């Protein structure tokens, strides 16, 4: 969950079925201009990469409307033994460079 697509983490696991990456990020003409919804992984990692592009100004209610059911289904299907949730501070409403409207409370609730 970040304004920017987490392409570095995703690239590390793009060809393996052992790690599922899910990115909730701003999409469009925005750095790093990656994170297209059609980019789903390669080789054995095909279908183990999910993108959730969000509009500017996404707030806590909108985020929960998407985050909770998507992650619940992923957990139900894959039954992961570990979940790592990197959250960028630029998704907070107080970040001057970000374009989301999330609170620290929203970040805490999704954990």
Weakly modelled stretches of the chain, pLDDT under 50: none
- pLDDT tens digits, one per residue of 89-106: 888 888 887 888 888 777
pLDDT for 101 equals 83
pLDDT for 110 equals 60
Q: Which two tokens mark 28?
A: 């469009």
22 touches 74 (CB < 8 A): yes
pLDDT for 111 equals 53
CA atoms within 13 A on the CB side of 10: 24
pTM listed for this prediction: 0.83
Which candidate, 103, 72, 71, 79, places its Cα nearest to that of 89? 103
Please state the length of the chain: 111
Q: Which two tokens mark 26?
A: 């701003």
pLDDT for 84 equals 86
């Amino acid at each position: 969950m970040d304004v920017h697509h987490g392409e570095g983490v995703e690239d590390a696991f793009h060809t393996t079925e052992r790690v599922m990456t899910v990115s909730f990020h701003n999409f469009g003409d925005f750095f790093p201009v990656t994170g297209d919804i059609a980019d789903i992984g390669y080789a054995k990692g095909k279908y183990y990469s999910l993108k959730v592009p969000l509009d500017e100004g996404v707030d806590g209610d909108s985020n929960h409307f998407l985050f909770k059911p998507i992650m619940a289904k992923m957990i139900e299907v894959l039954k992961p033994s570990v979940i790592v949730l990197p959250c960028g501070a630029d998704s907070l409403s107080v970040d001057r460079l970000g374009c989301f409207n999330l609170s620290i409370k929203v970040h805490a609730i999704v954990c």
